[in-house]
Amino acid sequence: MIDREQVQKVAHLARLNLTSEEETQFTGQLSDILEYFEQLSELDTSEVAPTTRAIDMSNVSRPDQLQPCEDREIILESAPDRDGEFFKVPKIVNAE
């Protein structure tokens, strides 16, 4: 279902550093999960339109009315680091 290389790729995209043991473990576990879901493929869905959600609802929207947040201090304070009115983040190693 899923091989070690794919696990490494997904880990890289999620910026996770996996040990060799973890790679083995997750390759097995993720394959089990995917195989389990694969049971759904028994059903013929060729006539069914794809859906992106389970709840039947659409067009939830709001008017364009200004309602500023009361206290930006709370937001700035809840960040791991700040510099005055800026959020401070570690050195960016890679742009992508």
Partner 1 sequence: MTTAAPVKTQYEAVIGLETHCQLKTDTKIFCNCSTEFGTPPNTNVCPICMGMPGVLPVLNQRVLEYAVKAGLALNCQIAPYSKFDRKQYFYPDLPKNYQISQYDLPIAEHGWLEVDVEDKDGTLVRKRIGITRLHMEEDAGKLVHGGSDRLSGSTHSLVDYNRTGVPLVEIVSEPDMRSGQEAAEYAQELRRILRYLGVSDGNMQEGSLRCDVNISVRPVGQEEFGTKVEIKNMNSFNAIERAINYEIERQIEAIESGERILQETRLWEEGSQRTISMRIKEGSSDYRYFPEPDLGPIEVTAEQLEEWRSQLPELPAKKRERYQSELGLSAYDARVLTDDRAIAEYFEAATAAKANPKLAANWIMGDISAYLNEKRLSITEIPLQPETLAELVELIESNTISNKIGKDILPELLVNGGSAKKLVESKGLTQISDTGALEAAIDAVIAANPDELAKYRGGKTKLLGFFVGQVMKQTGGRADPKLTNQLLTQKLNG
Rule CB under 8 A: which residues touch partner 1?
A: 9, 13, 15, 52-53, 55, 57-69, 72, 75-76, 78, 83, 85-92, 95-96
Q: Which residue, 20 or 67, is less far from partner 1 as judged by CB?
A: 67
Distance of closest approach, residue 47 Cβ to partner 1, in angstroms: 18
Distance of closest approach, residue 48 Cβ to partner 1, in angstroms: 15
Question: In 10 A of CB 7, how many CB atoms?
Answer: 22
Of the CA atoms within 13 Å of residue 58, those in its CB half-sphere come to 4
Q: Which residue, 20 or 50, is less far from partner 1 as judged by CB?
A: 50
Q: Which residue, 42 or 56, is less far from partner 1 as judged by CB?
A: 56
Q: In whole angstroms, give the CA distance from residue 96 to residue 88.
A: 19
**Can you read off the two tokens belonging to residue 70?**
């009361």
Q: Which residue, 40 or 69, is less far from partner 1 as judged by CB?
A: 69
Q: Is 18 exposed, middle or buried (0-12, 13-18, 19+ CB in 10 A)?
A: middle
